[in-house]
Amino acid sequence: MTLEGKKIAILIAPRGTEEPEFKQPKDAVEAAGATVTVVGIEAGEAKTNNGDLDPGGSYPVDKAVNDVSASDFDGLVIPGGTVGADKLRADGDFVSFVQSFFEQGKPVGVICHGPWLLVQADVLKGRTVTSYSSIRKDIENAGATWVDQVVVTDQGLVTSRKPDDLPAFCAKIVEEFGEGRHPEQARSA
């Protein structure tokens, strides 16, 4: 599947995003031909983590979240990492940014602890998703059905559990981003 001409945003939190969950999806959508914009708290650079505690690499941040709009993109990737997901869900600009993707019916890929941001954005009611098992109750309390599967797709929303699931997750987000807009996903705020 080719993503030529597609613009994909991927989120990063300073000293908190899980490196493989950031790098592998980014590489996969770029390899499929998409243009990827790294969106963070501020433009510049952000360091990732490995296993939440060990330092990862540094990556350029192309745009600050308050300088972009969901209408600029065809899809969104939200990596995990306990620390990173917690930082992102505490930032109202990220919450609004994510809500806009759902309002516009655009595909979103989320892995590991990333669904915490979806809980905060209040976009999970009636969905079937997966995540890292420790946030199952948060997801259920947000009105979603949680399942223990490698990858789950629900109306353009792709979720996976953990770094071991990255090959299946990356393949599925490329497929969903290639399909484009999901009108059945669009929801009013």
The domain that holds 130 is classified in CATH as: 3.40.50.880
Q: 56: which DSSP letter?
A: E
The residue type of 129 is V
- The predicted pLDDT at position 118 comes to 98
Report residue 159: phi and psi, to 5°.
Answer: -130, 150
- The predicted pLDDT at position 188 comes to 42
The residue type of 102 is F
Q: Which of 94, 100, 96 is nearest to 114 (CA)?
A: 94
Judge whether 189 lies within some domain: no
Geometric angle at alpha carbon 85, from 134 and 79, rounded to 5°: 95
Structural domain count, the chain: 1
Residues spanned by the domain of 135 = 7-179
This prediction has a pTM of 0.94
Which residues are catalytically annotated? 112-113
Residue-wise pLDDT tens for the chain (189 aa)?
A: 689 999 999 999 988 999 999 999 999 999 999 999 999 999 999 999 998 889 999 999 999 999 999 999 999 999 999 999 999 999 999 999 999 999 999 999 999 999 999 999 999 999 999 999 999 999 999 999 999 999 999 999 999 999 999 999 999 999 999 986 655 555 543
Judge whether 123 lies within some domain: yes
CA atoms of 169 and 19, how far apart (whole Å): 15
- The predicted pLDDT at position 181 comes to 61
- The predicted pLDDT at position 79 comes to 98
Judge whether 128 lies within some domain: yes
Q: Kindly report, residue by residue over 99-147, the tens digit of the pLDDT.
A: 999 999 999 999 999 999 999 999 999 999 999 999 999 999 999 999 9
Judge whether 39 lies within some domain: yes
Those residues whose C-beta lies under 8 Å from the C-beta of residue 90, and which sit 6 or more positions away, are: 120
Q: Which residues pair with 60 in a beta bridge?
A: 45
Residue where the block lists tokens 């109750």: 137
- The predicted pLDDT at position 15 comes to 87
- The predicted pLDDT at position 189 comes to 39
Judge whether 73 lies within some domain: yes
Judge whether 188 lies within some domain: no
